[in-house]
Amino acid sequence: MNHVVTLQDAITAYADFMEPTSAELDAIEREMPVILADVELLDAHIATIDRTPTELDTRRIRRARRQALAARVALLNRTAAAGAPGGAA
């Protein structure tokens, strides 16, 4: 009888102990604005892959880039404020 070893890896990859912890889910929730802003930026870039960007496309990319940067700055500020003693940033 031949055993397929890779099947075991596929089965254990979804075991209960492999679920994300509450701390990991909280971290994902905190980073969600950054993730969504990055997705919007990627969407803007993908829309112009096969054609020359119009002025409207350029504005959309610029706006998405600013929003992604603002989301990252907000995340960093929240992280710094949470880690500062006394709640001061």
pLDDT tens, residue by residue, 19-65: 889 999 999 999 999 999 999 999 999 999 999 999 999 999 999 99
pTM to 2 decimal places: 0.70
> Which is more confidently placed, 23 or 9?
23
Q: Is the pLDDT of residue 88 over 60?
A: no
Q: Is the pLDDT of residue 2 over 80?
A: no
Size of the chain, expressed as the number of residues it contains: 89
Q: Is the pLDDT of residue 89 over 60?
A: no
CA distances from 19 to 16, 64, 87 (A): 6, 32, 32
Sign of CA dihedral 67, 73, 77, 80: positive
